[in-house]
């Protein structure tokens, strides 16, 4: 499924079910909770990790929709930007960007 299609379907579901479609701060809070649930599923080796990661994506698409962001275009643009970047490890082992914008 393409990101744009997922964004559209997720938004339609939120609207149909009467979920939050206007409170951006609330949506960020709910996203944070879903990230926590995904982390817990991973940490405990639970079988619902994929479902929790899907929830994270759905909240991100809702935030994009609420803010008029074409998430598919932004993801493509960000991947292209990341491809141009290079990194080197510093003396502490941290990846430090050495080129790219």
Q: Quick one: pLDDT at residue 67?
A: 97
| Choice between 101 and 8, residue whose per-residue pLDDT is larger | 8
Q: Quick one: pLDDT at residue 48?
A: 98
Number of structural domains (the chain) is: 1
d(CA 86, CA 71): 24
**Tens-place pLDDT, residues 56-87:** 999 999 999 999 999 999 999 999 999 999 99
Residues 50, 41 contacting (CB under 8 angstroms): no
CATH assignment of the domain containing 75:
1.10.287.1080
Q: Quick one: pLDDT at residue 92?
A: 96
| Pick from 56, 57, 68, 54: nearest CA to 24 | 68
For CA atoms 13, 34, 1, 21, the dihedral sign is: positive
d(CA 68, CA 54): 21
**What's the domain range around 58?**
3-99
Report DSSP state, residue 19.
-
């Amino acid at each position: 499924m393409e990101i744009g299609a997922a964004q559209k379907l997720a938004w339609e579901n939120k609207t149909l079910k009467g979920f939050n479609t206007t409170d951006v701060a609330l949506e960020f809070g709910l996203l944070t909770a879903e990230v926590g649930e995904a982390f817990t599923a991973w940490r405990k080796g639970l079988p619902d990790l994929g479902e929790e990661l899907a929830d994270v994506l759905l909240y991100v698409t809702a935030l994009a929709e609420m803010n008029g962001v074409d998430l598919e275009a932004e993801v493509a643009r960000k991947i292209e930007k990341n491809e141009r970047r290079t990194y080197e490890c510093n003396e502490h082992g941290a990846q430090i960007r050495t080129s790219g914008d």
